Amino acid sequence: MKLYAIDDSTTLDALDNWGKFSAIGAEDLGGDVEAFGRMTLGAPGDATSAGYFGTRRGSFRLHYPFTEQATLLSGEVRMVNEQSGEQFHFRAGDSWLIAQGTITRWEVLSDDFVKHYLAVASSQ
């Protein structure tokens, strides 16, 4: 068993470059966004995983393949639930929960952002 403290001072520069966000399931809407991350539990394709994740400024659409609880550690993002039209504005320290299957549109308003997340996928 392990116990992790979430390091809220983690920066994008401390994360591994995972390549273009479109290569891992997102639709690039502007900014040629690259994904950065570091796992703290499991691997990205596991049914349950956790880690740090971030991108630079840009816009993308993501159809969530898992349920995610996340806390924004740095930066500022605007997120739209494309099914309901609801808009959310998140800043460092804010948290959210997104249900599996939700389609979101993200706009990274700051130069970059970093979040820590817990993802749980269920078969649908």
**Residue 32 structure tokens:** 């040629």
Q: What is the mean pLDDT of the chain?
A: 93
For 76-108, give the DSSP string.
EEEEEETTT--EEEEETT-EEEE-TT-EEEEEE
Residue 124 scores a pLDDT above 70: no
Instruction: Identify whether 82 is part of a domain.
Output: yes
Instruction: Identify whether 26 is part of a domain.
Output: yes
Instruction: Identify whether 51 is part of a domain.
Output: yes
Instruction: Identify whether 34 is part of a domain.
Output: yes
Q: Which residue has the higher pLDDT, 6 or 33?
A: 6
Percent helix / strand / coil, the chain, rounded to 5: 5, 60, 35
Q: Could you read off the pLDDT of 60-91 as tens digits, one per residue? A: 999 999 999 999 999 999 999 999 999 999 99
**Residue 52 structure tokens:** 């740090």
Instruction: Identify whether 6 is part of a domain.
Output: no
Instruction: Identify whether 109 is part of a domain.
Output: yes
Domain containing residue 75: CATH number: 2.60.120.10
CA-nearest of 110, 119, 78, 75 to 93 is: 75
**Residue 57 structure tokens:** 């400024």
Domain count for the chain, please give it.
Answer: 1
Say what the pTM is: 0.94
Instruction: Identify whether 41 is part of a domain.
Output: yes
From CA 34, how far away is CA 58, in angstroms rounded?
Answer: 9
Instruction: Identify whether 7 is part of a domain.
Output: no
Instruction: Give residue 21's domain range.
Output: 15-120
From CA 2, how far away is CA 122, in angstroms rounded?
Answer: 24
